[in-house]
Amino acid sequence: AQGYETILTETRGRVALITLNRPQALNALCAQLMTELNDALARFDADPAIGCIVLTGSEKAFAAGADIKELQPTTYPQSYTGDLITPWDGVANRRKPIIAAVAGFALGGGCEVAMMCDFIIAADTAKFGQPEIRLGVMPGAGGTQRLTRLVGKSKAMEMCLTGRMMDAAEAERAGLVSRVVPAAELIAEAMKAAETIASMSLPIVMMTKESVNRSYETTLAEGIRFERRVFQAMFATADQKEGMSAFVDKRKPAFRNG
Ligand code: CAA
């Protein structure tokens, strides 16, 4: 709709679905794709009609990493001044929830982008890995940090040092993904979760995302303090009154995002 060439976007009710679409390169994350992805995410993030975003790839690949053909001739001065990866932070900096629905390969930057999302639902075909070391580099879009926080040092170190892939079952055991579903049901399951989130009060959803993310950025005491203040502030919303009144009245709440 916006003239994108490397992604597809659609909206279903209050959920936006973004599909990475460079099948010829297993959705390798070239600069154009990342620009388009960031643009679409920013638009949906700013659109009051959208309550949750689902990001997915193809059956074969969520994304096979940064575009190696694009990176291959890059010099150090170019990588420094061009700051190639910093724009990717846009995925992690969005304020509405983003669910990664991963089937097939999520490798290198593909795994990293999935980890920038708020949670990952994996098809039983999903394979996660940080194979950059085999290319003579290391993960450059947060992999050494986010994978370590998600699965612990031992597994993250092994993955980053050997480039070995994790299948969906191992990824679920390790806490990298929230759950595994049959490949044929991946989009339906991710959309169902997204619809559930989008049916909640949007400001409360956004404050909850911000609070959970605080746990990655600060000490426990500061995180608890942040949570306490935000929780207290929620009593200034109409949706708190509505949600609790609906429970007491034994009816469904009608949140008005206020
Ligand atoms: N960049 C550019 N092109 C890629 C690509 C990538 N990351 N991954 C796959 N492709 C291309 C292939 O070159 C191939 O193109 P051609 O048909 O023109 O040759 C096409 O996609 C299909 O790929 P394969 O033929 O290799 O498919 P396969 O099924 O045999 O293998 C695979 C699948 C194991 C995922 C293999 O493609 C692969 O190992 N890809 C690279 C994975 C990788 O190393 N990712 C890390 C990238 S670096 C990075 O991400 C840095 C960072 O941290 C930000």
pTM above 0.95, yes or no: yes
Mutate to test the pocket of ligand 1, among 68, 133, 134 (most ligand atoms within 8 A of CB): 68
- How high is the pLDDT of residue 2? 77
Residue 1 has pLDDT above 80, yes or no: no
Find the mean pLDDT for residues 6-15: 98
Cβ–ligand 1 contact at 88 (below 6 Å) = no
Cβ–ligand 1 contact at 181 (below 6 Å) = no
Extract the tokens encoding 16.
Answer: 């936006």
Find the mean pLDDT for residues 18-43: 98
- How high is the pLDDT of residue 43? 98
Residue of 36, 132, 172, 189 marked active site: 132
Percent of the chain with pLDDT over 90: 98
Residue 107 has pLDDT above 80, yes or no: yes
CA of 87 to the centre of ligand 1 (A): 21
Find the mean pLDDT for residues 228-250: 98
Residue of 51, 65, 109, 129 marked active site: 109
DSSP the chain: ----SSEEEEEETTEEEEEE--GGGTT-B-HHHHHHHHHHHHHHHH-TT--EEEEE--SSEEE--B-HHHHTT--HHHHHHHTSSGGGHHHHT-SS-EEEEE-SEEETHHHHHHHHSSEEEEETT-EEE-GGGGGTS---SSHHHHHHHHH-HHHHHHHHHH---EEHHHHHHHTSSSEEE-GGGHHHHHHHHHHHHHTS-HHHHHHHHHHHHHTTTS-HHHHHHHHHHHHHHGGGSHHHHHHHHHHHTTS-------
The question of whether 57 is a catalytic residue gets the answer no
Q: For 65, left (φ over 0), alpha (ψ -120 to 50), or beta? A: left
- How high is the pLDDT of residue 72? 97
The predicted-structure confidence for 46-85, as pLDDT tens digits, reads as follows: 999 999 999 999 999 999 999 999 999 999 999 999 999 9
The predicted-structure confidence for 162-187, as pLDDT tens digits, reads as follows: 999 999 999 999 999 999 999 999 99
The predicted-structure confidence for 94-104, as pLDDT tens digits, reads as follows: 999 999 999 99
- How high is the pLDDT of residue 102? 99
Residue 152 has pLDDT above 60, yes or no: yes
Place of tokens 């998600």: 150
Report the DSSP beta bridge partners of residue 7: 20
Cβ–ligand 1 contact at 113 (below 6 Å) = no
CA of 170 to the centre of ligand 1 (A): 22
Q: What ipTM did this prediction achieve?
A: 0.98
